[in-house]
Amino acid sequence: MTILLDAAHVDFSYGPRRVVCDVTLSLRSGEIVALIGPNGAGKTTVLKLLAGLLIPDVGRIGVSGSRPRTVAYLAQADELPSDWSVREVVELGRLPYVGLFRDLAPHDDRIVRDAMERAKVALLADRLVGTLSGGERQRVTLARALAQEPRVLLLDEPTAHLDLRHRVDLFSTLRAEAARGVGVVAVMHDLTFAAQADACVLLADGRLRAEGRPGDVLRPDLLSPIYETDLALLHAPDGRVVVVPGATKERAPWTRNQESL
């Protein structure tokens, strides 16, 4: 598969403090990569480096195609002006194509509409952003990114303010985009969702600690020392993996129920 994004031995420092150290990773077309690690591990910095918002001190980051068209980025808390309509926000995703002066062509309008449909905000197109819920806003920023027709989608904690259903929705949208050949890198705190990615990259203190398939990275012996807490992996009845903190001392409720029956 095509490699879309390729970071090799990247170092980055904020002043004297080195935040990212010798990070190497690549993103293939159609792949969802979860960037995990405790707070302060350098996840957001790595994402900003991939997005081209920060320039590495050492190492290089290669992109297949040209920024800003290829790479779309969703900040941790995207600010949205409350008196704009949803469509107007999504239209800004066309900026890399139309520039600062040209108006949107009918072709751009079609792409905007399509992006809104894929992010499931088409029915909200004329609503003012200020009237939307947190989950709806998140989908609007996603639609804005999709309107950019990116080959790489970078998301910083996209599930942070979402309830369960919206998390599931978001993940299915990301899956659909991956199926179209888009490569996705998402910073995730929710390890249960990270387990559904195609690959996990574990960062701690700015260094890469592990990478590979979720099953290889999400291991209690690897995660517990890094997160400095006891962790257990439970396999849900449908085969999915659930990461439970502190579960070495206390067993999950449903196993207890099964025993008592």
Sites of contact with other proteins (CB under 8 A): 48, 51-53, 67-68, 71-75, 78-85, 88-89, 92-93, 95-96, 100-101, 120, 123-124, 126-128, 130-131, 133, 136, 141, 144, 148, 165, 169, 172
Instruction: Name the one residue in this structure whose structure tokens are 């942070």.
Output: 160
Instruction: Name which of 62 and 130 has its Cβ closer to other proteins.
Output: 130
Is residue 140 a contact partner of residue 129, using CB atoms and an 8 Å limit?
Answer: yes
Instruction: Name which of 173 and 208 has its Cβ closer to other proteins.
Output: 173
At position 6, the amino acid (one-letter code) is D
CB of 204 to other proteins, least distance (A): 24
Nearest CA-CA partner of 34 in 228, 195, 229, 208: 195
Instruction: Name which of 174 and 231 has its Cβ closer to other proteins.
Output: 174
CB of 158 to other proteins, least distance (A): 14
CB of 148 to other proteins, least distance (A): 7
Instruction: Name which of 100 and 261 has its Cβ closer to other proteins.
Output: 100
For residue 26, give every residue at least 6 positions away whose Cβ sits within 8 Å of its Cβ, in sequence order, or none. 3, 5, 6, 7
User: Could you tell me if residue 220 is left (phi over 0), alpha (psi between -120 and 50 degrees) or otherwise beta?
Assistant: alpha
Burial track 7-23 (b if 16+ CB lie within 10 A, e otherwise)? beebbbeeeeebbbbeb
Instruction: Name which of 131 and 255 has its Cβ closer to other proteins.
Output: 131
Instruction: Name which of 79 and 259 has its Cβ closer to other proteins.
Output: 79
CB of 109 to other proteins, least distance (A): 11
In a 3-state reduction of DSSP, which class is residue 127? coil
Measured between alpha carbons, how far is 21 from 46 in angstroms, rounded to an integer?
Answer: 10
CB of 244 to other proteins, least distance (A): 27
Nearest CA-CA partner of 243 in 256, 257, 227, 259: 227
| Sign for the pseudo-dihedral over CA of 71, 155, 188, 121 | negative
CB of 172 to other proteins, least distance (A): 5
CB of 112 to other proteins, least distance (A): 13
Instruction: Name which of 82 and 248 has its Cβ closer to other proteins.
Output: 82
What is residue 56's DSSP assignment? Answer: -
Is residue 145 a contact partner of residue 80, using CB atoms and an 8 Å limit?
Answer: no
